[in-house]
Structure 1
Amino acid sequence: MAWALGLLLALCVCSEAADDSSKTQAAPSYRRRLLADHKYKQNDPVPLYAAKVGPFANPSETYEYYKLPYCKPKDGVRYKTLGMGEVVDANRMATTPYQLNFMVERKNEVTCEKTLSDEDMIKFRRAVAEDWYFQMYYDDLPVWGFIGKVEKIIPKAGQPEYKFFLFTHIDFEVKANGENVIEINVLTDPNQAVDISENTKDVKVQFSYSVKWTQTTIAFDDRLQRYERFPLNPIHLEIHWFSIINSCVTVLLLTGFLATILMRVLKNDFVKFSREDAAMEEEESGWKYIHGDVFRFPPNKSLFCAFVGTGTQIFCLSLFIFALALIGVFYPYNRGALFTALIVLYALTACIAGYVATSYYVQMEGQGWVQNILVTCFCYCGPFFCMFMFLNTVAIVYRSTAALPFGTIVIILVIWGLVTIPLTVAGGIAGKNNKADFAAPCRTNKYPREIPELPWYRTALPQMAMAGFLPFSAIYVELYYIFASVWGHKVYIIWSILLIVYIILIIVTAFITVALTYFQLAVEDHRWWWRSFLCGGSTALFVYGYCFYYFYARSGMSGFMQTSFFFGYNGMVCFGFFLMLGTVGWRASLMFVRRIYQAIKCE
């Protein structure tokens, strides 16, 4: 593990060489990020970097700032070297011609004058029509603004006309406290907008800006608090809390109701099966009747164990992410921190997948343990890599910053090839050498019993629908806030609430899967292995269904690139969700089945 961690650190260092303005120190929360190097004196240069531009409604469709014919710095455009997570987050930090030296005010400073060509007009007009915005960073503080505006003109007679105006002047309002930058705002002056409608020709524009500095008493450690209330990112905490509490109470009541019924039924079963008279033995039925088949190992053992191993890895990965979030690593607009954590932690937790998958595979008397390790390596990464290649190709065609550069792809492949796969193999070898037995409480018959004909509502698909609905009802309110953060411009900071919902999701998934497993065994259907996994993971299908509702009813997103990114990456997230919750459901069912068959006399 030490060599893997060292290699990962080396690769991450090679992938980032941030300048002095990006150095940070660890802190207990996002409100106390002590950035000791962010101190300036009068007239010290503080660069303003342009990160991206794109349609406001399509967060994934982002482009480099100079895709639009803006003025460039006189000494040429220089790009800041970014970390791996920042690149994955579609940032491309380019220098701008705006001079925002510390505590130096400017008034109507001209960056350039130019005559817009027809091509320039088309680019700007498209950007204004699609409501494009720009995102910049000043001393690691994000700032946004819009490219222009559209005005609808209704003449006395005829069809309404639309006028497109380009903002050519920007007012920067910067606040400082002593030697530190605390806040920056951008105001676009509508009085200095230029008409770039289709009937205009040879438009001469003068791009300019102003800088105003003011003092504030806000401490440097607290400068990120404002992004909780930023106009682009409103979070209605009262509604949020009320919805979460309402969902939790509803789910807990339903869970308690089902638990009461299940415990009463089980108690009656134990009383009935504990009798030793011969007549009862002859009339044996229900889940005790199939005790010789219930521990018959499932078909496709290698794939099943690979799914369980990968699901266990993703479950552990989620716990590590929550731990980092609760100590304040993912503070607002910490560019790419979450992506970096996901890549590194996924690589380091690969040993868990290998160990769990191969250990169970050997316990299930599997012989091809090497093949099982390979299946474990690729069962999630393989589909994800195929989806990534397709979506990255789409982004390249669009020339979007969402397309990862070749160097970043190489680094990720090296991490996967030199860390993830070796750790999976090492974990698999350790699992293969694990001497634990499956230790089934009942002997398995040589030949399986015939399964009686069952009504349609006891088949796999209806059972999955019932199993997925209750856990989904516990999280659907939270899903809106998560989607609005990942696929929108809101900020998600309530990690403690998300952890509570996550715990409830795990508990409800485990319970509902156990209940359905009991009902399945009670009708003498012993094929519970894959069924419990599918029922546990079926919540992912409801989540993916919610994706369609959110995309078409709530988001306002459009276009082939945004559509493919939204449904493609959400599909892979839901697949990981399926593996994790399927593992939770199967493990809970395994514990339950062991317990009930240990409590009765099966021989």
Structure 2
Amino acid sequence: MEQLQYYAFLVAVMICFAGRVRSDGSDHKYKSGDAVPLYANKVGPFHNPSETYRYFDLPFCLPDHIKEKKEALGEVLNGDRLITAPYELNFLMDKDSEVICKKPLTKEEVTKFRDAVMKDYYFQMYYDDLPIWGFLGKVDKEGKTDPSEYNYNLFKHLHFEIFYNKDRVIEINARTDPNALVDITEDKEVEVEFMYSVKWKETTTPFEKRMEKYSQSSSLPHHLEIHWFSIINSCVTVLLLTGFLATILMRVLKNDFVKYAHDEEAADDQEETGWKYIHGDVFRYPKFQSVLAAAVGSGTQLFTLTIFIFILALVGVFYPYNRGALFTALVVIYALTSGIAGYTASSFYCQLEGTNWVRNLLLTGGLFCGPLFLTFCFLNTVAIAYSATAALPFGTIVVIFLIWALVTSPLLVLGGIAGKNSKAEFQAPCRTTKYPREIPPLPWYRGTLPQMAMAGFLPFSAIYIELYYIFASVWGHRIYTIYSILFIVFIILLIVTAFITVALTYFQLAAEDHEWWWRSFLCGGSTGLFIYGYCLYYYYARSDMSGFMQTSFFFGYMACICYGFFLMLGMVGFRASLFFVRHIYRSIKCE
């Protein structure tokens, strides 16, 4: 298993670096007059990050030679579709208002541009791996309250300001000329003269630091102050919670141990009460043990995947505008860690004296991938209907299928066989009686749903401040780079989840309810439900996303992510409870 994890780490690092947007193998060094690669990427509504289209889906001037850039897996998954742009930005060559083309726009093309300007469309390009953004036009609302009276204007002049240091490109900015406008308010034919200008300026910024400007926004003092406030808030929550629980549990358990020690010295017919009373049932194997084993195995795999992603983030792989690397890493590491899921699920299933380990292995393989696959099929169909770049090409789907068939499935089977042959025993410190005891009637607040609500609220309260920045990065245009803080928050999340689940498990056992197995998993994973509830709040209160496609992508993929959190944190809660239950029952003498 350690060799498999090490191999996964190395391969993920190599593929992540290989998944960068590269300049046709260039070493990024140029001489005066050399052509510097410039690719137009995509256009789309600014507030709908998933709804993007190919750049030339709008009737821009086409270059003389159209060439599509071959993209890595992560770029395709990110919706990137790079194609040569019509601008010539040769190294150190200034240009003053050069015309790209004079294009007569038909009524249909004017309507396309007007709809794009109305929806606040932006464009994105890459120049020597540096991203460029800009808006297509602007809406003139001055002195008008009725949207039907607005004027819609298309920018026709783009000015590039490029900074260089010796023979390397350091920075590029694109500005639209607010005075060079074309009125496209009415449905009539218009002739547009698309132009651009270029100005080169020297800078002392070294090439190695040219990407730092894109991460400065997340490192501003104001944002850092909020991030550290989040950390302090979470740490205080953890300290109070852990101190409170540790004090109560240690005192209560100490009293329990003393009480049970006196009971053993007393008459044998004395009636037992509390959690010791159910020692013959507490290790009775739960219902649907195959599903529980599969959930624990899938949760362990997702936990390992998360740790690897954090390692890559902390060593600097996911620098700004290398987001394709994240998707590549997720696919590759998930495939290579499937053996961990197979081993964990099969081993635990055999410890619970399960016999049909093949079915358990199939269940493990489909527990997370199944819902993810169904969600992808629906959302990819929506993207195809919209002709958006989020629709994966057939070749990419084949590649992902081959990764699943040739890497994920074989490793899952090998891990399952290894887990089945591990011959590990469950190690229950108490013998289980033949017939289960009846669980006494309990008040409503000790039911599963109220307990899940209590278990999920505290971990969620420790992370909710940081959630906004993560959402604004994943579902917006904000850049997130402070992975060290995010990793601390993740560790706090694990600690709080484990402690609150252990506390609720103890109170459940003290009430003589021995069916703690599934309860501990559900309580541990309930934070995922709170995160999905936050999705509703973010979508309607903190974002300007709209439209069927963007709504489908947001709630569809966030459902999969929250489900993954449910499995991962459920595994953490269950493992913590299992450790706790074994410990307290080893500490007493059970007949």
Specify the TM-score bucket, using the shorter chain as the normaliser: over 0.9
Q: Distance in 2 between matches of 1:533 and 1:330?
A: 32
Matched-pair contact (CA < 8 Å) for 1:168–1:194? yes
Report what 1:351 is aligned to: 339
TM superposition shift of 1:274:
1.1
* Pair 1:428-2:430 in alignment: no
> 1:296 & 1:304 partners in 2: Cα distance?
14
- 2:294 aligned to which of 278, 286, 306: 306
Q: Which residue of 2 aligns with 1:26?
A: none
Q: Deviations over 1:267-294 (max 9, x none)?
A: 1111101112334752211100000000
1:188-203 alignment runs, 5 A limit: 188-198=176-186, 201-203=188-190
Q: Distance in 2 between matches of 1:19 and 1:61?
A: 21
Aligned to 1:259: 246
Change (3 A) 1:117 1:573: same
Is 1:81 matched with 2:81? no
Match of 1:49 among 26, 31, 39: 39
In the TM superposition, residue 544 of structure 1 has moved relative to its aligned partner by 0.2
In structure 2, do the counterparts of structure 1 residues 225 and 440 end up closer, same or farther at CA, with 3 Å as the change threshold? same
Letter of the 2:59 partner, please give it.
Answer: P
User: 1:301: how far off?
Assistant: 1.0
Q: Deviation at 1:235? A: 7.2
Deviation of 1:239 after TM superposition, in Å, equals 2.2
Q: How far apart, CA to CA, are the structure 2 residues paired with 1:241 and 1:188?
A: 37
Query: In the alignment, does 2:210 pair up with 1:223?
Result: yes
Q: Does the Cα contact within 8 Å between 2:170 and 2:205 map onto a contact in 1?
A: yes
Q: Deviations over 1:221-244 (max 9, x none)?
A: 000111123699997222222233
- Map 1:11-90 onto structure 2 (within 5 A): 21=23, 23=25, 37-75=27-65, 77-90=66-79
Corresponding residue number in structure 1 for 2:568: 580
Aligned to 1:247, the other structure's residue is in SS state helix
Distance 1:269 1:324 in 2: 46
Q: 1:529 to 1:501 in 2, by over 3 A?
A: same
TM-score by length of 1: 0.93
Distance 1:158 1:178, change over 3 A: closer
From the superposition, tell whether residues 348 and 235 of structure 1 become closer, same or farther in structure 2 (CA, over 3 Å): farther
2:233 pairs with one of 228, 246, 250: 246
Q: Are 2:384 and 1:396 aligned?
A: yes
Q: 1:133-144, aligned counterparts within 5 Å? A: 133-144=122-133
Per-residue CA distance 1:238-278 (angstroms, 9 max, x = gap): 22222332232133223322221121111111110111233
Segment of structure 1 superposing worse, 129-138 or 234-243: 234-243
Aligned mates of 1:188, 1:49 — CA distance in 2: 18
Unaligned runs of 5+ in 1: 24-35
Partner residue in 2 for 1:289:
277
Letter in 2 for 1:113: K
SS in structure 2 at match of 1:379: helix
Question: Which residue among 388, 400, 404 is the counterpart of 1:416?
Answer: 404
**Cα distance in 1, alignment partners of residues 504 and 447 from structure 2:** 11
TM-score normalised to the size of structure 2?
0.95
- Change in Cα spacing, 1:254 to 1:281, as seen in structure 2 (3 Å) is farther
Q: Percent identity?
A: 66
Aligned equivalent of 2:356, options 352, 361, 368: 368
Q: Distance in 1 between matches of 2:373 and 2:409?
A: 14
| 3-state SS in 2 of match to 1:435 | coil
Shift of 1:21: 1.5
Task: Measure how far apart 1:152 and its partner are.
Answer: 1.0
- Structure 1 residues 396 and 473, CA gap change in structure 2 (3 angstroms): same
How many residue pairs end up in the alignment? 585
CA 1:17–1:448 in 2, change beyond 3 Å: closer, same or farther? closer
Deviation, structure 1 residue 18: 8.5
For 1:197 and 1:426, the matched residues in 2 are separated by 64
Structure 1 residue 477 and structure 2 residue 465: aligned? yes
CA shift digits 1:380-411 (9 cap, x unpaired): 10110000000000000000001111100110
**C-alpha RMSD of the superposition:** 2.3
Query: 5+ residue gaps in structure 2?
Result: none
Q: CA deviation at 1:74?
A: 1.6
| 3-state SS of 1:72 partner | coil
Alignment of 1:495-514 (within 5 A): 495-514=483-502
Aligned to 1:27: none
